[in-house]
Amino acid sequence: MTKLSVNVNKIATLRNARGNNIPNLEMVTKSIIDFGADGITMHPRPDERHIKYQDVFDLASIIKEKVEFNIEGFPSDRFMSMVLEVKPHQVTLVPDKEDVLTSLNGWDTIKHKIFLKDIIKDLQNSGIRSSVFIHPEIEMVEGASFVNADRIELFTGLYADSKNSIANYVECSKQANLMSMGVNAGHDLDSENLDFFIKNMPFLDEVSIGHGLISESLFLGLENTINVYKSILQ
C-alpha cells in the first residue's frame, strides 16, 4: 500500500497568522497521526513563514516514535545542521530559492550531481534515507541514481494541471524501480485526482499531501478527510 505522509505546513501557517499557538501544531500533528496518517512531512523555509525550525526540534521525538518523519527543504548549511541533529527517517531535497512561494521546480540531477552526491552521502552516513525532488523526466531519474539517492519524489503539479497526463510518471516509476530506488510523489494531489494517479502508477511508496488535504478538511473534518485519502490509497 502507498503510504500517506501529511504535510502540516498549512497548520503552522494558520497558527502564525495570529502570532500565538492556535491551532496548536503539536496537538494537531498528534491528531493527524491518531487519525491514521503513515507519516508527517515538514518543510521549514528560510523565512519560517509556516514551519519554524524550532517546530522541527520540538516535534521530532513525538513524530518519530509513532510514524515516519520526512523533512523537506533546500540543503543549506542551516538545514543540514538541523536534519543531521534531528535524524528524521527521510530527508527530501528540494531546489527551492529563498523567496519561493511553493516548490514548483525539480532538481537538475545532472547539473548538480556533485553537490547532491555529497549531501546524500552525509545523510546516508547518519542513517537518513534520501529523496530527491524531480520533474517526471527519465534523465533526472537516471541522475538521481548516479548521486545514490534512495528515492525520488516526483513533482505532481504537472499531473494535477492535466489530470490524465501520467505517461511520464509511469515511465519514471518503472525506471526508478529498475535502478533500485523508491518512488514518492507530491504537490497538488487531492482526493479528486489521487485515485487515478494511484491506480496507474506501477511503483509508488509514498505520497506527501498537505494543501489539498488540509483544505478539504475544512468541509469534511480532519479525521474524515484522512480516512478518505487512506481509502483511496488502499
Q: What is the DSSP letter of 152?
A: E
- Letter string b/e over residues 29-58, b meaning 16 or more CB atoms within 10 A of that residue's CB: bbebbebebbbbbbbbbbeeebbbbebbee
**The three grid cell numbers given for residue 34, joined into one nine-digit string:** 491518531
Question: What are the residues facing 151 on neighbouring strands?
Answer: 131, 182
Q: Which of 135, 153, 187, 216 is catalytic?
A: 187
Q: Which entry of 43, 137, 153, 216 is annotated as an active-site residue? A: 43
Do 181 and 144 contact (CB within 8 A), yes or no? yes
Residue 153 designated active-site = no
Structural contact between residues 32 and 222, judged by C-beta atoms closer than 8 angstroms:
yes
72 is catalytic: yes
CA distance 28 to 82: 23
Q: Name the grid cell of 5.
A: 505522509
Question: Backbone phi, then psi, for 208, in 5-degree steps?
Answer: -110, 120
Q: Which is catalytic among the residues 50, 68, 72, 135?
A: 72
- In angstroms, the Cα distances linking 106 to 49, 143, 158 are 22, 12, 12
The verdict on whether 211 is a catalytic residue reads: no
Catalytic residues: 43, 72, 187
